[in-house]
Structure 1
C-alpha cells in the first residue's frame, strides 16, 4: 500500500513541479507603476491590481487618482475595469468605487463612458449602481447614433450585457444593420432570450438565400451557436447542400446542418471534397467534427492526405483519434519521419504509439530518427520508441542530450520521459540521471525520484536544495516529507525547521501542517497560523483557517481571529470559509448566527454555504421582514433568462437562499411566485430546490 501511495504522490508531485507558478509584482510595486511614464506599463499595472482581488484593496485610492488624472484613455479604461473587479469585494470601499464610476459616465470620451456603464452593471449589489440603470441604458442607447463605427459597436455590445428590460429589444433591432449585424448576433448568442434567438434565426435564414457566398458562409457559425433554435434553417441548408457549386462551402453547410440535426448525413459531400485536390483541406476540416466511431470509414481518404504537405498535419490529428483502427497507416505515418518540416516529423513520432501493435513496424524508422538534426524531434522520437518497445536503453542517449541543453522545454520533455521510464520499472536506469538532475537544480526531477526512490534516499538531500528552490518546490518537498517521511529520518526535522522560517506564507503553512503531523504540538506553530489569517493572499487565509480547524481544541485561542475573518475579511469566499470553521469549532448559534445574518445583509451569499450545518430555523428567526424581502429579490435575480448559462455557483446560491427562506415558513409566502417560476428553470438543481422550498412554505403553520 505504501508503494502505491508513493507512486501516486510521485505523479502528483511531478505534475505540480512541471507547472511553475507565474509571479506578479507586489501591490506596492504596482501602485508605484501607476505613476510611471509608460502608459502601457500603467495600464498593465491597473490590470494586475484588478486580478489580485481583495489583496489589492489598498490600491483603490491610487486607482481613483489615476481615473481622475491619467492623460491616457486606455489607462483609464484599465483602471475602470480594475475598480470594477475590486468593487465586487464586499466592504466600505464599494460606495467610493461606485461614486467614481458614476462620475465617469459624464466623461467626454465615449469608450471610457461605455466601460464605466458596463462596470457599474457588474456592481448592481450596491444600491447606487443599481439605481443608475435607467441612466446607463439611455447613455448607451444614445451612443448608437455616434458617427464612429467602433463606438456604435461598443455601445451595442454594452446594451447586450445591461440588465435592463428593454436592452435586448434594442440589440435585436440591429440584426439587419449591415455594419452591426455581427455584433448584434454575438450579443443574442451570448445573452438573448428565446424571442431574440428566434428573430436572429429568421434573419440568418434570409442570409442563406443570398447569392453572395461570403454572406452564406458568415451566417453558418451563428446558426450552429443557436443549436435547436436554428431548426427553421434546416430546409434552406438541405437545399444548399444540393445546389451550391462551391464544394468547400457545401462542406460547411453540411456540417452546420448536422450540428443542428444529428440525423443529417454529410458523408457524400465529405467524400466528394476529400476526392478533390482543390477541396481536400475542407473535407478534412469537416472530418474533424465526425465522431471517432464513424471516422474509420474514411481511412483511404486519410491515407491520401499524406501526399500533400498542406494536409499532413490535419491528417495526423485525425489518425491519432482512431488509435489502433488506423494501424494500416503506420507505414505512411512512419514515412513522415523524413519530412523536411521538423514539426511534421515530431508530430508523426508523437502519433505512432497511439496506433497500437502495428506501430512496432515503425521501430526501425524511429531508431533512425534518434539521429535527427533537431533535438526536439529526437526526444519526441525517443518517447515514442519507449512507448512502443519499453526499452529504456535505446532512448537514454537522447534523454541525456536534451537534459544537457539550456532549453527548458526540452529539459521538461526529457524529464517527463524519465518519469515515464521510471514508473514502468526502469528505475535502475533513470535513477542516477534523475538524482544528478535534482542536484543540478532541476526540480522536475523530484517527481521522477519520488516514483522510484525511497524517502530515506531523498529526504536527506532536501535541506541542501531547499534554499535555492522556488516556493512551490519548497512546499512540494515539505508535503512529501509530511506524507512519506518521519521525524527521525535524517533531514526531515531540518527541512521543516527551514520551512517554518521561510519568506513564503505558503511554505510556512505547509511546514505547519507537517510539523503538527510529526509532533502534535500546536503551541510552536499557532503564531504562524495566526499571522496567516491576515496574509495579503486570500488563499493563505483559506489555508490558515483549514489548519486551525485541523489543530482542533488547541486552536481555540485563535477564535477571536477567526471571528474577525468571518465578520470583516475583504474576500467573500474567505468569509464563508471562516463561518464554516467557526461553526465547527464552537457549535454556538449565538456566536455564528449574527455573523451569517450580517454578511448576507452585506451581500455575501457565499456566507450561506455552510447552511446545511446550521440549525436553519434558528437562523431564519433572526431575519427581519426586510431581510426576507431582500433575499427574495436576490433569488429573483438569480433566475434570469432561461437561456442564461447554467453554472454551479448560481444553483448553489439559489439552493441556499430557498432553504433559508423556506425555514422562515409563512413569512416567506411572498417568494412563492418566484419559486413557481424556478420550477421551469433549465438547471435541475434549481428546480429541485424550488419544489422543496415551495412545499415547505405551503406546509408551514
Structure 2
C-alpha cells in the first residue's frame, strides 16, 4: 500500500521553515512537533539532520528524538548519529535502535563500537539495543562479554541481560563468566542464565558450583562441610549454626553470587533437579538471603 504523501494541509513545510528560525525556542518547538508526527514527518528528515548540528543543545536533542521516532526508515540516519559529538544525540540513537529490535540488525557493528562509548548511558543503551535483536544479535556476543568485564556496573548488568536475550549462542559465554575473578561478573552471569530459564539447563552443574561458594573465610573449609554444632561461640557457652553467623563484609559479594545462582536454578525448574542436594543444604545451613532463595528454588524445581 502506498504511504500517504504531503497535501496542501500538511504542516510539514511550515515546521521545516520553523527549524531554520532565528529563535531557538521556535526551532525546538518545530522539532518537537515533527517528532509527534513520527514517520509521517519523513520528508523533514534532511532538515532534522541539519538540526543535529544546531548551536543550541536542546534543539539538537529534540531533533534527535524526532528522528528516533521515525522507525526503520531512519535506520541509516540513526547509525550516522552514533558517531555524533553530542552525547544526547548518541543516546537518542541507541534508544531508537533498541526500539527497532531485530530490524536494527544492519547497525550491529556500529552498536558494538558504541559499547565503548565514553558516555555510560550511550554504552548501556547500545547493550540494550543489541539484546533486543535476540538471536539476530549473536555476532555481538564477544563484545558484550567484554563489556561485562568493564568497570561500568550498569553496563555489566545490561550486557549480561543482552546475552540472555540472545539465548543459546551466548550461553557458553555466560557459563565461562561464572568462573570470572570478579564476583560481580559471576553474579551477573548467574542472574542472566536464570533469565534464560529451561534453555539454560546445561548450566546447572556450573550454577551448583557457584551455589556451594568459595571456602569459608572464617575456617578456610567449605561452608557445606560445616554442621550446626561445628562452630562454637567465643565463650564456649553456645554453638552457632552457619545460618547464625554474621556474613563478613568482604564476603557479601560472594553471597550475592550464591543467591543469584540459587535463583537461576529455580528458574530453570525441573531440569535443575541434580542441584537439589546443594539447594537443600543451602536452605538448611546458610544465612539469609541465601537460605530463602534456596528454599524457593527447591519449590520451583519440585513444582510446588
**Same fold by TM-score greater than 0.5:** yes
Partner of 2:218: none
Tell me the distance in 2 between the aligned counterparts of 1:474 and 1:461: 9
* Shift in Å, 1:272: 0.7
C-alpha distance in 2 between matches for 1:370 and 1:447:
20
Correspondences of 1:71-86 after superposition (within 5 Å)? none
- Is 1:249 aligned to residue 20 of structure 2? no
Structure 2 distance, partners of 1:242, 1:483, is: 60
User: Are residues 426 and 286 of structure 1, via their aligned partners in 2, closer, same or farther at CA, if it must alter by over 3 Å?
Assistant: same
Once the two structures are TM-superposed, the CA of residue 322 in structure 1 deviates from its matched residue by 0.5
Residue 277 of structure 2 is aligned to residue 445 of structure 1? no
Cα distance, 1:320 vs structure 2: 0.5
For 1:305-320, list aligned pairs within 5 A.
305-309=81-85, 310=87, 311-320=89-98
Matched, 1:398 2:215: no
CA contact (8 A) 1:346 1:376 kept: yes
Per the alignment, in what secondary structure is the counterpart of residue 308 of structure 1? coil
Q: Distance in 2 between matches of 1:241 and 1:395?
A: 49
Map 1:652-667 → 2, pairs under 5 A: none
**Which residue does 2:229 correspond to in 1?**
none
Aligned residue number for residue 477 of structure 1: 295
What are structure 2's unaligned runs of at least 5 residues? 1-8, 214-222, 225-253
Indicate the residue corresponding to 1:94 in structure 2.
Answer: none
2:206 is the counterpart of 1:430: yes
1:299 aligns with 2:75: yes
1:153-192 aligned at under 5 Å gives the runs none
Please, which of 267, 274, 280 is the counterpart of residue 459 of structure 1?
280
**CA displacement at 1:305 relative to structure 2:** 0.6
Task: Assess, with a 3 A threshold, how the Cα gap between structure 1 residues 249 and 416 changes in structure 2: closer, same or farther.
Answer: farther
Measure, in 2, the Cα distance between the counterparts of 1:482 and 1:385. Answer: 24
Match of 2:237 in 1: none
Change (3 A) 1:251 1:340: closer
Q: Is the 8 A contact 1:324 1:356 kept in 2?
A: yes
1:284 matched residue in structure 2: 64
The structural deviation recorded for 1:299 is: 1.3
Counterpart CA distance in 2 for 1:304 and 1:282 is 16
Q: For residues 301 and 135 of structure 2, what CA distance do their matches in structure 1 show?
A: 39
What is the distance in 2 between the residues matched to 1:312 and 1:322? 16
Q: Could you tell me how far 1:445 is from its partner in structure 2?
A: 3.0
State the aligned residue count: 238
Higher relative contact order (CA 8 A, sep 6+): 2
Take 1:353 and 1:264, find their aligned partners in 2: how far apart are those partners? 24
Structure 1, unaligned stretches of length 5 or more? 1-234, 487-701
Deviation at 1:419, TM superposition (A): 1.2
Q: 1:331 to 1:248 in 2, by over 3 A?
A: farther
Aligned equivalent of 1:420: 195
CA deviation after TM superposition for structure 1 residue 332, in Å: 1.3
CA distance in 2, matches of 1:283, 1:387: 30
248 and 272 in structure 1: CA distance in 2 versus 1, 3 angstrom threshold? farther
CA separation of 1:428 and 1:275: change in aligned 2, threshold 3 A: same
Q: For the structure 1 residues 477 and 385, does the alpha-carbon distance in structure 2 shift closer, same or farther, using more than 3 Å as the test? A: closer
Q: 2 CA distance for matches of 1:434 and 1:337?
A: 28
TM-score by length of 1: 0.29
1:431·1:449 contact (CA, 8 Å) conserved in 2? yes
1:331 equivalent in alignment to 2:105: no
Give the drift of 1:460: 4.7
The equivalent residue for 1:143 is none
Distance (whole Å) between structure 1 residues aligned to residue 183 and residue 113 of structure 2: 29
1:351 aligned partner:
129
| Kept after mapping to 2: 8 A contact 1:296/1:325 | yes
Partner of residue 50, structure 2: 275
**In the TM superposition, what whole-angstrom CA distance separates every residue of 1:526-575 from its partner, at most 9, and x where no partner exists?**
xxxxxxxxxxxxxxxxxxxxxxxxxxxxxxxxxxxxxxxxxxxxxxxxxx
Structure with greater Cα Rg? 1
Distance 2:16 2:50 in 1: 18
Residues 328, 358 of structure 1: 8 Å contact kept: no
Please state how far the C-alpha of 1:313 moved relative to its aligned partner: 1.6
2:98–2:126 contact (8 Å) kept in structure 1: no
1:287 Cα deviation after fit:
3.6
C-alpha displacement at 1:413, in angstroms?
A: 3.0
The separation in 1 between residues aligned to 2:16 and 2:45, in whole angstroms, is 13
Q: Partners of 2:152 and 2:212 in 1: how far apart? A: 25
Q: Please, what is the CA RMSD of the aligned residues?
A: 4.3
User: Deviations along 1:393-445, whole A, 9 cap, x unmatched?
Assistant: 3333434437624xxxx676333123135632323453323422597644343
- 1:331 shift after superposition: 1.7
Seen in structure 2, the aligned counterparts of structure 1 residues 480 and 301 have a Cα distance that, compared at 3 Å, is: same
